[in-house]
């Protein structure tokens, strides 16, 4: 039984999705990266392998694709057949469920993005990679300040009848604003609803600024689990927001679909046993020219398997067979 594996490694979470030849999702996994992407990838492969052994030991991995901010690292240590950026992967995943989707809102733990689609193709996008005010980290920080589990944020926000206006352009300033609103007696549910509305405003004024937002609109990422955020976006845009199946692992699903559509005669997948090997990454600064590129070097069981990060290809194109 041939199957295809997609891996999406981000700063906060690591996602793995295994699909069959009919594009059916067999096993979706969502793990915390916890500052250790290599460990998260190995842990995810170990867990996935256990699921395969327990449910369908006849599964054969016919292709592996990686995406996310650590896609090159993930691709090197797993032996990926395809490495794709998050925009392409998310667009592919969304269109497998909603071919007519025009706008994708994706908010993760440390970054957020918007993707504009036409006929299933990404024609424009925007990213927020500088400040956490428009991301899940913003809600995590305020939830901690309020003493509320972030998982309950949405339900609490829906209880509000008069959301408090809270500036959300900056995490530091919004916390000061929130403390002031607490001190003057605003209800917790009104503050929580105000925070959701503030994040939605921040996203639309920064990440989505100048973008042609058209329905159908799809909402992805960990923050899409927050029903208070869904309501905030619907009120701000005056449009219905759809949260699709596998909304938190859509990037991994998308890259699995892409590698299935572009299969290699023989996969380069290094096997599930890679989860038990010693994998280390180091870096050095190339002195070959004024660029002074930082070159990343990956080793498996002490052997150099890949280098990347150089602009000219001096190190990344180096034959490592004898290294």
Domain harbouring 256, CATH code: 3.30.420.40
Is 176 in the same domain as 226? yes
Q: For residue 295, which of 319, 276, 318, 272 has the smallest C-alpha distance?
A: 318
pTM assigned to the model: 0.89
Span 285-305, pLDDT tens digits = 999 999 999 999 999 999 988
Query: Rounded to the nearest 5°, which phi and psi values hold at 60?
Result: -120, 130
Q: What's the confidence (pLDDT) of residue 169?
A: 65
CA distance 310 to 316: 7
Residue 186, classed as helix, strand or coil, is coil
Question: Are 129 and 69 a contacting pair, CB within 8 Å?
Answer: no
Of 190, 218, 243, the residue that ends a domain is 243
Q: For residue 243, which of 105, 44, 136, 76 has the smallest C-alpha distance?
A: 105
Q: For residue 66, which of 3, 5, 129 has the smallest C-alpha distance?
A: 5
Is 52 in the same domain as 107? no
Is 178 in the same domain as 257? no
Under 8 Å CB-to-CB from 172, ≥6 apart: which residues?
none
Is 123 in the same domain as 234? yes
Q: What's the confidence (pLDDT) of residue 323?
A: 37
Is 132 in the same domain as 15? no
Q: For residue 213, which of 78, 315, 101 has the smallest C-alpha distance?
A: 101
> Helix-strand-coil percent breakdown of the chain, rounded to 5?
40, 25, 35
- Tokens representing 108 are 């993760």
Under 8 Å CB-to-CB from 147, ≥6 apart: which residues?
none
Is 174 in the same domain as 284? no
* C-alpha atoms less than 13 angstroms from C-alpha of 109 in its C-beta half-sphere: 15
Q: What's the confidence (pLDDT) of residue 321?
A: 45
| Beta bridge pairs of residue 295 | 284
Per-residue DSSP letter, 169: S
Of 226, 243, 260, the residue that ends a domain is 243
Q: What's the confidence (pLDDT) of residue 18?
A: 98
Q: What's the confidence (pLDDT) of residue 182?
A: 81
Is 238 in the same domain as 109? yes
Question: Are 4 and 63 a contacting pair, CB within 8 Å?
Answer: yes
Is 225 in the same domain as 286? no
CA distance 264 to 64: 10
Total domains in the fold of the chain: 3
Segments forming the whole domain that contains residue 110: 100-243
Is 215 in the same domain as 304? no
List, for the chain, all residue ranges whose pLDDT scores fall below the cut of 50: 321-323
CA distances from 11 to 40, 96, 285 (A): 11, 25, 23
Token pair 């993930």: residue: 74
Is 22 in the same domain as 127? no
Question: Are 259 and 113 a contacting pair, CB within 8 Å?
Answer: no
- Tokens representing 316 are 């990344």
CA distance 45 to 37: 12
Is 58 in the same domain as 161? no
Is 18 in the same domain as 108? no
């Amino acid at each position: 039984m041939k199957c295809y594996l997609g891996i999406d490694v981000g700063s906060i979470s690591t996602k793995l999705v295994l699909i069959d030849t009919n594009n059916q999702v067999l096993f979706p996994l969502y793990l915390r990266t916890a500052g250790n992407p290599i460990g998260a990838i190995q842990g995810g492969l170990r867990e996935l392998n256990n699921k395969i052994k327990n449910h369908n030991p006849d599964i054969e991995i016919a292709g592996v694709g990686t995406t996310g901010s650590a896609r090159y690292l993930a691709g090197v240590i797993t032996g990926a057949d395809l490495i794709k950026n998050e925009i392409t992967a998310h667009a592919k995943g969304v269109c497998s469920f909603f071919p007519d989707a025009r706008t994708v809102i994706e908010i993760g733990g440390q970054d957020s993005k918007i993707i504009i689609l036409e006929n299933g193709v990404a024609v424009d996008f925007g990213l927020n990679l500088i400040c956490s005010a428009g991301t899940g980290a913003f809600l995590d920080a305020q939830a901690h300040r309020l003493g509320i589990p972030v998982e309950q944020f949405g339900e609490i926000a829906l209880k509000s009848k008069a959301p408090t206006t809270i500036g959300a352009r900056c995490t530091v300033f919004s916390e000061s604003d929130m403390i002031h609103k607490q001190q003057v007696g605003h209800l917790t549910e009104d503050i929580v609803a105000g925070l959701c509305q503030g994040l939605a405003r921040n996203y639309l004024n920064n990440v989505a600024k100048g973008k042609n937002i058209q329905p159908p609109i799809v909402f992805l990422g960990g923050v899409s689990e927050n029903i208070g955020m869904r309501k905030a976006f619907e009120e701000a845009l005056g449009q219905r927001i759809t949260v699709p199946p596998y909304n938190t692992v859509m990037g991994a699903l998308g890259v699995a679909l892409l590698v299935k559509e572009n299969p290699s005669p023989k996969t380069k997948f290094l096997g599930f046993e890679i989860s038990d090997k010693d994998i280390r990454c180091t870096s050095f600064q190339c002195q070959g020219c004024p660029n002074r590129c930082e070159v990343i070097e990956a080793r498996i069981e002490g052997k150099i398997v890949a280098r990347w990060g150089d602009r000219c290809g001096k190190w990344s194109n180096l034959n490592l067979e004898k290294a």
